[in-house]
Structure 1
Amino acid sequence: MAAPICPTCGTAARLTDGREIYPHRPDLADKPIWACTVCEDTYVGCHPGTEEPLGFPADAALREARILLHHRRIDPLWKDAPRTGGYGRLDAEGIKTVQRAARVRVYGFLAARMGLTRETCHTAMFTLEQCREAWTALKGVSYGEIRDWAKFGEGRKPTGRKRRAPASGEGVAA
């Protein structure tokens, strides 16, 4: 696995752990973290249980932007999805299932709004400018809008009526 590259200085990061980055957090001591060897306080965490970086290293300002984007825009959309209607009564497992599907939809919607692929639409890969763009793209958006987007396709609006299947031979050029 190649080390992530620091976007500020272009240097390959080195693998370290939470003991170095978060000395005051014993609960994070064994967590693998990629840190820039040149830029001070620039790092990125790893996917759970791996040494695979979540994205690219970020300084304090970018980490704060990524955290705010998650906590104030992205997470509330998918976490509140079970309460948006249309799901009936859900037990704890049903809530988790809806939330997992909602999270995928939220990121798909955001990727489409930002002109990104789903694979590159991850806050740990965002620059400060992309964090601002994502913030704006999700401003005022409800989960219901995202669910409709996923159901009816980007750019199409639900009409409230079902499309009928063409009759035999109808719509076929002769």
Structure 2
Amino acid sequence: MKKKQKVVRIHPRKKPNLAMPVCPYCGRDAVMRPAEYVYGDDTITAGSMLYVCSGYPDCNSYVGVHRGTKKPMGSLADKELRNKRIRAHRAMNRLIESGYMCKNGVYAWLSCSLNLPPKETHIGCFSDYMCEQTIMECERVLENWKGKRAA
């Protein structure tokens, strides 16, 4: 006689527990810490949190946490990748501030330009290469738009 398998049902409103992020550089688990742990007195937003590689400061990778949650804003990144992501966000913001596109429009356009599903078009998860592509595409569109306006 076969044993009945137990069916586990998840309440539709409950989200599954998120696993702790793992450092892509050294493979250690990340731990949640106040932003002051990394930034000290230079912390911009009081009460903000980070996931920091448990090998910090030897392994200098971390990522911000969405306020009021335990959800990381992306994947852990070292200094170089964090700077690339900042540059990519700035490039996108120039499109928005220029009046060329709204924020949702930029993400929809970028998703198509990079051939990514919309749910994967998140700079906080981008690699070095995808950040470079984002910067290049944003600058190309902005230059083209400015050229048309000047003509």
Q: Provide the TM-score with structure 2 as the length reference.
A: 0.73
CA–CA distance in structure 2, aligned partners of residues 131 and 26 of structure 1: 25
Structure 1 residue aligned with 2:50, among 28, 33, 51?
33
For residue 139 of structure 1, report the CA deviation from its aligned partner: 2.4
For each residue in 1:41-75, what CA deviation from the matched residue of structure 2 results, as whole angstroms up to 9, or x when unmatched?
2100012332210110111111111111112x101
Unaligned runs of 5+ in 2: 1-17, 146-151
Aligned residue among 64, 76, 87 for 1:68: 87
Alignment pair present for 1:24 and 2:2? no
| Residue aligning to 1:51 | 70
In the other structure, the counterpart of 1:110 is: 110
Taking the aligned partners of 2:129 and 2:43, their CA distance within structure 1 comes to 33
CA RMSD of aligned residues (A): 2.2
1:2: which partner in 2? 19
Name 1:119's counterpart in structure 2: 119
Q: Give the Å deviation of 1:131.
A: 0.7
Structure 1 residues 124, 26: closer, same or farther in 2, change over 3 A? Answer: closer
- Mapped to 2, the partners of 1:115 and 1:109 lie a distance apart of 10
Distance 1:67 1:12 in 2: 24
Give runs of ≥4 in structure 1 deviating > 3 Å. 26-29, 142-145
Could you tell me how far apart the structure 2 residues matched to 1:127 and 1:108 are? 19
Q: Using the alignment, how far apart are the partners of 2:24 and 2:108 within structure 1? A: 25
Q: Count the aligned residue pairs.
A: 126
Distance 2:34 2:67 in 1: 13
Indicate the percent of aligned positions where both proteins have the same amino acid: 27
Q: Residue in 1 aligned with 2:96?
A: 78
For the residue of structure 1 that corresponds to 2:29, the secondary structure is coil
Which stretches in structure 1 are left out of the alignment for 5+ residues?
85-98, 146-174
